[in-house]
Amino acid sequence: MSIAGGIREIAAAAPGTIAVADGDRRLTYGGLDDRSSRLANVLLAAGLRPGERVAVLLGNRLEYPEVAAGIAKAGLIMVPLNPRLTPAESAYILDHSAAGALVADQAHAAAVEGTTLPPTVLCLGGHGLGPSYEAALAMAEAADPRVKAGDLDPFCVAYTSGTTGRPKGVLISHRSRCLTFYASALEWGLGPGRRTIAVAPMYHGAGFAFGYAPLCTGGTVAMLRQWDPERLLAMIAKERAQSVFLVPTHAHMLRALGPAALRAHDLSSLDTLYFNAAALPGTLKEWVLDAFPGVGVHELYGSTEAGIVSVCRPADARRKLGSVGRPWFMTEARIVDDDGNPASRGELFSRSPYLMNGYLGDPVATAGCTTPDGFLTSGDIVERDDEGFIYIVDRKKDMIISGGVNIAPREVEEVLSTFAGVAEAAVVGLPDERWGERVTAFVVPLPGADVDVAALVAHCRTRLSGPKVPRTVEVVAALPRNAAGKILKRALKESHAPPC
């Protein structure tokens, strides 16, 4: 298996089919196959050898799939860089991964400003970072080098967001992603003739998986260059998109547009929405179901390390509100208590062919999250009901201990989100001399809404026991997030930490 395999197959069978759309630009499967082979030859001619790493600093644009496929065709390993990284963060990843080349968009040069770049650099949209990408491709051989890579060899080192310290490099195999692509096609209707949009950033694991999967199965993917809810609705109408992957943040911002915005666009082609990154709050999921009638809404759960773990399908979306479903294809789930015994509530582990190979250069961290029989921890505390549906209670490391009571922030967040005028909320534990930690809520109001904090706390008291009621509520304009749309609770804690 190779992530370039599907592209080779579709190019041979239907070379004229449009693979990627980016504004007015279009790239056929024949062109995608040709250009990715040229890139592979450029990298090999530069002296890179199979197994070496190539950093990629690009946003969502037409060239992203060909860069990924070209790296794979050369037997090399892709290291995606988030364009929002600081130079110090980029320097750490470039050094830790020992990247021998960099393919970068000049528009994102600030992310690597002042850093020591790899020996080989190819630059799109300018020449400031290095030689022209397009010029290099134009001069390269077009024959596919077909460098052999094993199924379990990594195609990518995806660095975690670093919310709990230095980012770790997650080694993801060709087999992991190829099986994800084909299972995604089965689950979410990707494949020949199907159209989708790459909304989430492709430099993130889920964004890449669901932006690239259509190309391995014969579909067409349109690139949303920068997140804008109005632009997404217009693209769905223009491209006649059918299956679209989103994260909860996107749903929040679509809801904020108001119902008239959705009615202003022809969304009749859309039949499938699937969500990941964080569990959808119940009230937000109900809005999605009501705002997109007739559209199948899937909620999936997973991680960079584990891949997809579970899915809640449309038939269960309302009756199992708050659930992330049952284990996905080829996945075993195990829930254990603090003593490691099987339980209906506890820490979730999974075993599947989607699991990572481990953390790059960190066997201790790898061993710390895996079991001898091949299960990987999610780091989440979950509950499983009598039908096998899984509910996320909270991140194990996010649990608040106040006055000796264990409090799951997600439970409090769900209650806060049901209060009129609240768009979303995040709850953390801040240091407290008396209680150890105090429950602190950060609340984002809906556009134009005023949140009465006293009334909000009173609302919580009718639904939560005393220790769970927020002792502090702060109304904020937005919550800090990483590229995947996950709320950075560490940033909230650090911004409100007491002075040393």
Annotate 60-97 with DSSP letters as a single string: SSTHHHHHHHHHHHTT-EEEE--TT--HHHHHHHHHHH
Whether 162 has a pLDDT exceeding 60, the answer reads no
Beta bridge partners of 400: 407
Residues of the chain with CATH 3.40.50.980: 5-195
For the chain, how far is it from start to end, CA to CA, in angstroms? Answer: 53
Mind listing the pLDDT tens digit for each residue in 107-138? 999 999 999 999 999 999 988 999 999 999 99
pLDDT at residue number 489: 86
- Assign a CATH topology to domain 399-495: GMP Synthetase; Chain A, domain 3 (3.30.300)
* Most confident listed range (27-41, 329-343, 480-494): 27-41
- Report the half-sphere exposure of 57 (CA within 13 A, side-chain side): 34
Checking if the pLDDT of 342 tops 70, the result is: yes
- 108 residue type, one letter: H
Q: Which CATH number is 227-395 given?
A: 3.40.50.12780
Percent of the chain with pLDDT over 90: 77
Candidate CATH numbers 3.50.50.60, 3.40.50.980, 3.40.50.1440, 3.20.20.300; the one for domain 5-195? 3.40.50.980
> Predicted confidence band at 22 (pLDDT cuts at 50, 70, 90)?
very high
**pLDDT value of residue 329:** 98
Give the mean pLDDT of 88-92. 91
Q: Is the pLDDT of residue 163 over 60?
A: no
Q: Phi and psi (nearest 5°) for 252?
A: -55, -45
Residues 6+ apart with CB under 8 A from 27: 18, 19, 20, 21, 35, 62, 66
Domain with CATH 3.40.50.12780 in the chain: 227-395
* pLDDT score of 236: 97
* Token pair of 79 as six digits: 């290291």
The predicted pLDDT at position 217 comes to: 94
Mean per-residue pLDDT, 228-246: 96
pLDDT digits (tens, 9 = 90+) for 188-200: 999 999 999 999 9
pTM, rounded to two decimals: 0.84
From CA 279, how far away is CA 256, in angstroms rounded? 19
Q: What is the 3-state secondary structure (H, E, C) of 444-472?
A: EECCCCCCCHHHHHHHHHCCCCHHHCCCE
Q: What are the residues whose beta carbons fall under 8 Å from the beta carbon of 452, sequence distance 6 or more?
A: none
Cβ atoms 308, 331 nearer than 8 A: yes
Tokens of 481: 């997030």
Residue type, position 353, single letter: P
Q: Are 75 and 108 in contact (CB under 8 A)?
A: no
Which tokens go with 381?
């505390």
Shortest CA distance to 301 belongs to which of 271, 272, 331? 331
List beta partners, residue 204. none
Mapped onto helix, strand or coil, the DSSP state of residue 30 is: helix
| pLDDT for residue 64 is more than 50 | yes
CA 265-266-271 angle, 5° bins: 120
Say how far apart CA 108 and CA 55 lie, in whole Å.
Answer: 13
Stretch 59-78: mean pLDDT: 98
- Which ranges of 324-390 would DSSP assign to H, the alpha helix? 363-368
Q: Which pair of structure tokens corresponds to residue 475?
A: 């109304």
Mean pLDDT of 168-185: 96
Residues of the chain with CATH 3.30.300.30: 399-495
The closest of 98, 7, 116 to 48, measured between CA atoms, is 98
Rounded CA separation 127/330 (Å): 46
Strand-strand pairing, 101-105 and 120-124:
parallel
Torsion from C-alpha of 467, 473, 479, 482, nearest 10 degrees: -30
Q: What is the pLDDT of residue 474?
A: 93
Element (H, E) at 180: helix 174-188
Q: Quickly list DSSP for 293-308.
A: TT-EEEEEEEETTTEE
The helix, strand and coil proportions of the chain, stated in percent and rounded to the nearest 5, come to: 35, 30, 40
Strands (E), 338-481: 345-351, 358-359, 376-384, 390-395, 400-402, 405-407, 422-432, 436-445, 472-475
Confidence class of residue 500 from pLDDT cuts 50, 70 and 90? very low
Residue type, 481: R
Q: Quick: pLDDT tens for 270-325.
A: 999 999 877 788 888 999 999 999 999 999 999 899 999 999 999 999 999 989 99
- What value does the mean pLDDT take over residues 164-177? 88
Grade residue 160 by pLDDT with cuts at 50, 70 and 90: confident
Would you state the pLDDT for residue 164?
45
For residues 477-493, average pLDDT: 82
Average pLDDT, the chain: 92
